[in-house]
Amino acid sequence: MTFSSTTRLANGVPDLAYKHGLKRNLISRLLTLIAGLFSGIAVLPLIAVLIYVLIKGGQKISFTLFTELPPPPGLEGGGIGNAIIGSFVVTIIAALIAIPVGVGGGIFLAEYSRVEDLRFAQFIRFGTNVLSGVPSIIAGVFIYGTIVTSRLLFGNAYSAAAGGMALSILMLPTVIKTTDEGLKLVSDDLRRGALGIGASKFVTVVRITLPTAFTPIATGVVLSIARAAGETAPLIFTALFSPFWSEGIDGIFNPIATLSVLIYNFAIMPYEAQNELAWAASFVLVLFILVMNLFARWLGQFANK
């Protein structure tokens, strides 16, 4: 190798010290600056939204906001307590449906899809990728047409259960893909060792591979919950809205208030009191999604160790 374009020191060793004045170094710093500028522009909308929601919604935060019902249109006071509980109820229903199905689907793809099932596994992966790109309103319309209009849930139309079903459709692709990829990260030596001492395939999956891949699977579950909690369109078609508290188990099969639908309804009202509650609900919802994403990143740190 020759160093014809490199300055040599007195002992003949090439001078490889960084030189600020070289053209290539100036171009490198310029491109780095441009890349940093574009990165800042990409993050700016997120920062602007968080600050604006914090300013507009944080002013309304109080104890009564979490414990009282929304006031009638045009009246002051009240809170969003029923919407907070409703969001938790709908999200829990969605998680109870999506997590077992999604984890089971991911286990099949990673552990049981042998060579003879390769085409079927490829079809499932393709369908999962397509489903992850389907607009959320389509999931709401699907549940509306199959569950709400047909009154399959004990003769009830709009309900929290229908809303949970719609959100579970949105959660499924994330849970399936993260489970599939998480199980692929498990070393085959662990599987061979378990099978070598006489463990069945089922025992190997339950006792070895699933616990080993728990962190990436849990990260995907948390991210899917964070996505589902902020959806509005599916809930408008399924859970609708209610200005009252959810009453026990029966409330699952009746319309229920959620934060996202409350924000939509109150933001378009011509009353200042309802607009302020919409901003407060936006603050609570954004804070919840932010916490869930930070929790997912915290779990992701364990996957890299």
**Which one has a higher pLDDT value, 301 or 4?**
301
- Show the domain range for 239: 63-303
Is residue 54 a part of any domain in this protein? no
Is residue 83 a part of any domain in this protein? yes
User: What pTM does this model have?
Assistant: 0.83
Is residue 34 a part of any domain in this protein? no
pLDDT for the residue numbered 94: 94
Average pLDDT for 131-150: 91
Rounded to 5°, angle at Cα 294 from 173 and 305: 85
pLDDT for the residue numbered 1: 44
Is residue 41 a part of any domain in this protein? no
Residue 27 has pLDDT above 80, yes or no: yes
Residue 9 has pLDDT above 80, yes or no: no
Is residue 52 a part of any domain in this protein? no
- Token representation of residue 11: 């002992």
| Domain containing residue 121: CATH number | 1.10.3720.10
Is residue 128 a part of any domain in this protein? yes
pLDDT for the residue numbered 114: 64
pLDDT digits (tens, 9 = 90+) for 141-176: 999 999 999 888 877 889 999 999 999 999 999 999
pLDDT digits (tens, 9 = 90+) for 189-204: 888 888 888 888 888 8
User: What is the 3-state composition of the chain as percent helix, strand, coil, each rounded to the nearest 5?
Assistant: 70, 0, 25
- How many other C-beta atoms lie within 10 A of the C-beta of residue 26? 11
pLDDT digits (tens, 9 = 90+) for 57-79: 888 888 888 989 998 887 888 88
Residue type, 158: Y
What percentage of the chain has pLDDT greater than the value 70? 91
pLDDT band at 304 (very low <50, low <70, confident <90, very high): low
Tokens 């849970």, residue located: 175
pLDDT band at 3 (very low <50, low <70, confident <90, very high): very low
Is residue 12 a part of any domain in this protein? no
pLDDT for the residue numbered 174: 92
The CA distance from 179 to 103, in Å, is 6
What's the number of domains the chain is made of?
Answer: 1
* Helices 81-107 and 160-184: angle between axes, nearest 10 degrees: 40
Residue 77 exposure: Cα atoms within 13 Å on the Cβ side: 6
Is residue 11 a part of any domain in this protein? no
